[in-house]
């Protein structure tokens, strides 16, 4: 993902090609991933692997030493992790001060065991990995976890835009209709959203003492101050109502987008392709999916999603209040 690693061959060295799963469709659109423990993941660029094997790097996360007061945000991609991370950083620091670092510097599957252990306290990690791949100590030490969810159609649109603009060879070249097929299948980095949710449900049920706060992107949009208060309470903080209101305001979409453009330290790796609008702060709305799905595509999506998720109990908000 750095500027000097923008072609497939830079990432797909001969030894990596041997273990790669080709998830491209008949039109050649899709992803080259590796599989680990039933999940497809992007093959990290050589600069991140530092000579290591992708699966070993991910496995190393299981052994990472955690601190009792560590916190983890868990989410499928594009469900609002950046937003929640910034809110938490402010609540914990007790100041309306934006983190200069980008949240990717605290992303478990980017920094692996050594990187996780090197982050200074207080530490708010984030990840798109399922619970079974997180450090064993998450469950052992009852680390506070925040699980943020978003309606699958908006998550799909957001992921499409993200992957379309990403630096080669991680970018998606197909159209939106093709992408929804991949999104509803497992042929995606991080697998399908439905499987992520079902795995999350099953794996947290098997760890009943794990403290988890479930949050929804749509609730945060509709009731931002209430959600900030819920997060503060779950963290065991005694933030005042005024402070929670200030945090919610400082973390509005508009303000965070501006801060991202103006003051965040740029990450080491190049994430977006030149000439694209690539950003983690695209639209920030509930219901943008209506601009992307035809009625027929939307019905087809619902049909497949509902079949997979029936009996799961997950309910989502698809339109602003």
Q: What is the C-alpha separation between 28 and 7, in angstroms, rounded?
A: 16
Query: Hey, which residues are catalytic here?
Result: 128
As measured in angstroms, the least distance from the Cβ of 171 to ligand A3P is: 16
Asked if 188 and 182 touch (Cβ cutoff 8 Å), the reply is: yes
13 phi-psi bin (left φ>0, alpha ψ -120 to 50, beta other): beta
CB of 85 to ligand A3P, least distance (A): 8
Tally DSSP H helices, then E strands, for the chain: 15, 7
Nearer to ligand A3P, 52 or 284 (CB): 284
- Name the site residues for ligand A3P (rule: CB under 6 A): 75, 77-83, 154, 158, 161, 251-253, 256, 280-284, 288
Alpha helices in 35-97 (DSSP H): 46-49, 54-62, 81-93
Q: How far apart are CA 287 and CA 78, in angstroms?
A: 14
In terms of CB distance, is 80 or 113 closer to ligand A3P? 80
| Least separation in angstroms between CB 28 and ligand A3P | 25
Q: How far is the CB of 162 from ligand A3P (least distance, A)?
A: 7
Rounded Cα distance, 127 and 106, in Å: 8
Tokens of 52: 């290591």
Work out the number of other CB atoms within 10 angstroms of the CB of residue 212.
Answer: 18
> Quick one: 33 or 79, whose CB is closer to ligand A3P?
79
């Amino acid at each position: 993902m750095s500027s000097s690693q923008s072609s497939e061959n830079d990432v797909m060295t001969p030894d990596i090609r041997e273990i790669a799963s080709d998830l491209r469709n008949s039109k050649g659109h899709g992803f080259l991933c590796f599989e680990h423990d039933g999940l497809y993941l992007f093959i990290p660029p050589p600069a991140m692997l530092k000579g290591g094997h992708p699966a070993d790097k991910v496995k190393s996360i299981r052994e990472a030493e955690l601190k009792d007061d560590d916190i983890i945000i868990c989410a499928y991609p594009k469900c609002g992790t950046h937003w929640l991370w910034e809110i938490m950083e402010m609540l914990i620091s007790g100041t309306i001060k934006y983190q200069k670092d980008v949240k990717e510097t605290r992303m478990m599957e980017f920094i692996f065991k050594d990187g996780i252990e090197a982050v200074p306290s207080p530490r708010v990690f984030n990840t798109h990995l399922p619970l079974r791949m997180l450090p064993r100590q998450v469950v052992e030490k009852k680390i506070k976890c925040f699980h943020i969810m978003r309606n699958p159609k908006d998550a799909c649109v957001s992921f499409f835009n993200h992957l379309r603009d990403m630096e080669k060879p991680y970018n998606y070249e197909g159209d939106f209709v093709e992408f929804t097929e991949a999104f509803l299948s497992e042929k995606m980095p991080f697998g399908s959203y439905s499987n992520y949710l079902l795995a999350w449900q099953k794996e947290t049920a098997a760890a009943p003492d794990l403290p988890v706060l479930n949050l929804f992107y749509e609730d945060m949009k509709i009731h931002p101050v209430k959600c900030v208060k819920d997060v503060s309470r779950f963290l065991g903080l005694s933030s005042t109502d005024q402070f929670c209101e200030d945090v919610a305001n400082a973390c509005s979409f508009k303000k965070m987008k501006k801060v991202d453009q103006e003051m965040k330290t740029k990450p080491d790796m190049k994430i977006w392709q030149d000439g694209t609008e690539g950003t983690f702060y695209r639209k920030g709305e509930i219901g943008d999916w209506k601009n992307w799905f035809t009625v027929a595509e939307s019905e087809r999506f619902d049909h497949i999603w509902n079949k997979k998720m029936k009996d799961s109990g997950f309910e989502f908000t698809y339109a602003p209040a």
